[in-house]
Structure 1
Amino acid sequence: METLTKQSASAKKSSDPKPPTNRRNAIWESIKQQKFLYLMSLPFVVWVFVFNYLPLWGWTMAFQNYKPARSFSEQQWVGFKHFAELFSDERFYLVLRNTLAMSFMGLIVGFVVPIFLAILLNELKGKFFKRTVQTVSYLPHFVSWVVVAGIITKMLSTDGGIVNDILMGLHLIDQPIQFMAKGNLFWYIVTASDMWKESGWNAIIYLAAITGIDQELYEASRVDGANRWRQMWHITLPGIRTTISVLFIMSIGHLVSNGFEKQMLLGNSLVTDYMEVLDLYALNYGLNLGRFSYGTAIGIFNSVVSILLLFTANGLFKKFTKESIM
């Protein structure tokens, strides 16, 4: 009986968690073993801190009547005045509509097309042809939006534009269409331009994920009589589901921060009510007019909404699909 008591006491003692001192020693030992990895990552940590966190001090301008010539102590604090002006401006809601509309269209097209392209490229058997198509498809990513905007404008021009020439040659229209002057077409032009420019580049991520799928699954499916369409639907797509979920969550976080380059370069005064997005609104009605505090308030709104969208999307995906980024 005494022996059994000693054994149970020994087993209980061995099952107890390690003391804090032992855990700290294990952590320090791990740091010593991986010290070179920590040293290699240190420059990137410093870079992120300097360029991503230190500028957050500039958010204080949104709560001031900021004047560049004055020191910080001389600035006049006005609280949420600029946010009140922002939410009472009818132009802001028009701009928000344009931002969300183009972002949602870009989100849908920017996911469906690259995934479809990646799967089709993966099914190509000829290595030379496959590499050629892949190279040609992602080269537009490296072309500046200035050049892309010039190409798109020329293609849609009423004077020698290839699109109008084709439509008239097929007798689908009687006279050239002024695509760049129609506001209701601007969202589609921006979405199509972005799809052509970025789809090939975005497909590379999915191609890399596809290569990680176990090839024995395809061999087993062929033995069971599955054709290539069945393999794509039941093996390829489920195999890259995690990659799709992570990229989709991150993209949702950028719905209201989609930049302004393509809108500014493709737009003109005739389509202003459809081209202006939040970043362009901050530039035109904030910085260009010397209203630095107002522009900063718009930037804070963008950041806060982006964070809320990111956490909401991550929470929903984690709850319903068990996939998340944190």
Structure 2
Amino acid sequence: MTVFKGFLLLLKRDAKSVSLYLVIFIAIAVMTQLSMGDNQSTSTFKSMSTRIAIEDKDQSELSKNLVNYLEKTQSVKNDLTISTPDMIQENLYYSNVYSVIKIPKGFEKDYFDKQTPLTLINKPGFDSTYVTSQVDQFLRSVKVIHESGDTVAQAVQKVQRYDSQKSRVTLIAQNKSGGEMPYHNYLFQYLPYILISMTSYSLGIILIIYAEPDKKRRMLCAPVSYRSMNLQLMLGAAVIGTGLWLTCGVALPIILSAKAFLADPNLPYYLLNVGLMILVSLALSFLMSKLIQRVNIISSVTNVLTLGMGFLCGVFVPLSVLSPAIKK
């Protein structure tokens, strides 16, 4: 077991680099859990109102109800002067309002005659886009109902009634955690990044050292078969994989999440996924050791590989927000 003992000595020598990545991983996991864990309330959405100004010269049934509709959801500023383009530009520039709506005379008649005399002057950004969307949605809804035979007043009443209704959402496809994100989930979310880094700095470096020409010749001269050497190196890789599995997949979740992790119905899947990820990490480290001949450049290659896979494979950025071209 000479090769295996040498493997362990080299692993002990590189323990500082591996431990550094382990500390970084623990820090990332703890900070993520504190900021995004399920100890915080999940009902964080809050509808925000946008500051707008409205000038209604039409004073028709449609324009009045449009103003009333916007007043329910937006912050309408009635104390601003928007009679001239310079005043409008000044209010938008200083963010007194994000959108100015000017309703001219004859707006209701012209609108139902398939004209759009309504003027929307927006400050670039999501706030003004939200206002534009609301205005368009209200007017289109009233127009569709009015063209079906209802009067403008009846159409407005129906739109207001439909808008006041609340949707009832029932979660059918619940996971085994009741549809909630487990507190320790974020620990496993960033696990692939750190596993690839740690195996590269442990197994990858050791295999590169063993593959150096002088050391390889000396081992081939020893009374140890080539098959035995490979088996001992595989045993060393198994020690690294088992140690990472116990440390990152078992010990850390128990320390950080305690009973919640042990009581998780998906516990077998967590442990299985960590084991599979470790096999992939070990395979990548073996591949790197065959393509890289110098130990001092493994750091650069590891950073590119881990960060690239972290951003493109769903670790740091969910795959749901990546475009099909990037995925391909």
TM-score by length of structure 1 reads: 0.29
More helix by share: 1
TM-score by length of structure 2 reads: 0.28
